[in-house]
Amino acid sequence: MPDEVNTAVPASLTDHALRSAVDAAPDGIIVVDENGSILFVNPMAERLFEYACNQLVGQSVDLLLPDARRGRHAARRAAYVDHPQTRPMGVGLELRGQRRSGEEFPVEISLSPVHSGNYVLVIAIVRDITERREADEELARARADLALTEDRDRIARDLHDTVIQRLFAVGLSLQGALARAATDPAIERVHRAIDDIDDTIRDIRSAIFALHSRRPGGASLRDDVIAVVAEATRPLGFEPALSFDGPIDSAASDAMHEHLIATLREALSNVTKHAHATKVGVAVTVRDNDLTLVVVDDGVGAGTPDGRGSGLANMRESAEALGGSCEVSSPANGGTRLGWRVPIGDVTPD
């Protein structure tokens, strides 16, 4: 014979079990009649609106609305009774409830009709969305801050990469014109123009640093590299070429950030003091799970394997402390190349 099939039917929920479920509901439950009189509230509704059950039953549901919204609610309640259906209340509107204390709070309300004889009862499920609204507002503020930061970064890059470079080119052209100036007044005007360009470049750099300083959370690694390179421009007599590649800011830990900036500052100081260079290139990259700083100049060369000055030992130690390395070499075409590299883990794009 085939196995017997278990046809036992689960016991029906008792009235007590149903009432317990309603009492334990995480949302407020309010039942009103066609006239808007409250017939029932569950414990969560009592807590939300700060009323006891006996203070609400028999009262108009309008008691739970802000004063300014009660007049319009009566007409909307009558319209719902004429066409009852399960739906959210006030789609597209900002709904608010009012506690006994007078405090208003944002709510979501879902409506469901229940037919009882010739009458329509309405069940309203009320949810306090204060925390969600605050989270949405915080997210909106964060997005606005990010958009503002990105806009400031774009302006700063445009100023640094385009405007300053063009001003440098104009200044160099004017310096070249000095040799061809025929009169002292002409020479004086060219000198004044060059001084004006220098002042303008300083003003633009100040604007760039001000833009970066407003970044939430402080300056990024990219910001600090730009600042150190800018600081070296005047003692060098020219602006180093600067490039970035890869997710620089998200890759570097605080320790990597600190050591890379110290290394860059020391390297540029060595170039200023010893290299007699006319060109310097600075590159910061993230590639193949390495964060790398390369500083190249066209000066007199490293001279000895130990490089220039005692600062090289500190640069090597900082790299080795992070599991990396630091090397100084003299390329075949002259000058000096410093390569500082430390390993990183998986990173996400900036």
Instruction: Identify whether the C-beta of residue 164 lies closer than 8 Å to the C-beta of residue 171.
Output: no
Paired with 208 in beta bridges are: none
Which one is predicted more confidently, 90 or 303?
90
Q: Over range 312-326, report the average pLDDT.
A: 90
pLDDT level of residue 207 (50, 70, 90 thresholds): low
- Report the candidate in 106, 109, 104 with the shortest Cα–Cα distance to residue 94: 106
Question: Per DSSP, which regions of the chain are E strands?
Answer: 28-32, 38-41, 87-88, 96-98, 104-116, 119-128, 241-245, 280-287, 290-297, 325-329, 336-343
Which one is predicted more confidently, 346 or 104?
104
State which amino acid sits at residue 153: D
Which one is predicted more confidently, 3 or 33?
33
CA distances from 311 to 140, 282, 314, 322, 348 (A): 47, 18, 5, 17, 33
pLDDT level of residue 27 (50, 70, 90 thresholds): very high
- Mean residue pLDDT of the chain comes to 81
From CA 210, how far away is CA 205, in angstroms rounded? 8
- Residue 304 scores a pLDDT above 70: no
From CA 189, how far away is CA 184, in angstroms rounded? 9
Give pTM, 2 decimals: 0.44
From CA 27, how far away is CA 36, in angstroms rounded? 20
- Residue 335 scores a pLDDT above 70: yes
State which amino acid sits at residue 60: S
Query: What percent of the chain has pLDDT above 70?
Result: 79
pLDDT level of residue 306 (50, 70, 90 thresholds): very low
pLDDT the model gives residue 108 = 93
Which one is predicted more confidently, 219 or 287?
287
- Residue 163 scores a pLDDT above 90: no
* Span 85-102, pLDDT tens digits: 888 887 777 889 999 999
* Span 56-95, pLDDT tens digits: 999 999 999 998 888 777 778 888 888 888 888 877 778 8
pLDDT the model gives residue 280 = 95
* Span 12-26, pLDDT tens digits: 667 788 888 888 899
Residue 128 contacts by C-beta under 8 Å, 6 or more apart in sequence? 28, 48, 97, 105, 106, 107
- Residue 301 scores a pLDDT above 90: no
pLDDT level of residue 305 (50, 70, 90 thresholds): very low
pLDDT the model gives residue 297 = 94
Helix (H) or strand (E) holding 28: strand 28-32
pLDDT the model gives residue 180 = 64
State which amino acid sits at residue 18: L
From CA 220, how far away is CA 108, in angstroms rounded? 41
pLDDT the model gives residue 160 = 66
Residue 130 contacts by C-beta under 8 Å, 6 or more apart in sequence? 105, 106
- DSSP calls for 241-290: EEEEES-HHHH--HHHHHHHHHHHHHHHHHIIIII--S-EEEEEEEETTE
Q: Over range 166-194, report the average pLDDT.
A: 69
- Residue 145 scores a pLDDT above 80: no
Beta strands 241-245 and 280-287 are parallel
From CA 243, how far away is CA 285, in angstroms rounded? 8
Which 8-state DSSP code applies to residue 299? S
- Residue 342 scores a pLDDT above 70: yes
Q: Is 325 helix (H, G, I), strand (E, B) or coil?
A: strand
pLDDT the model gives residue 57 = 94
Q: C-alpha angle 152/154/159, rounded to 5°?
A: 95
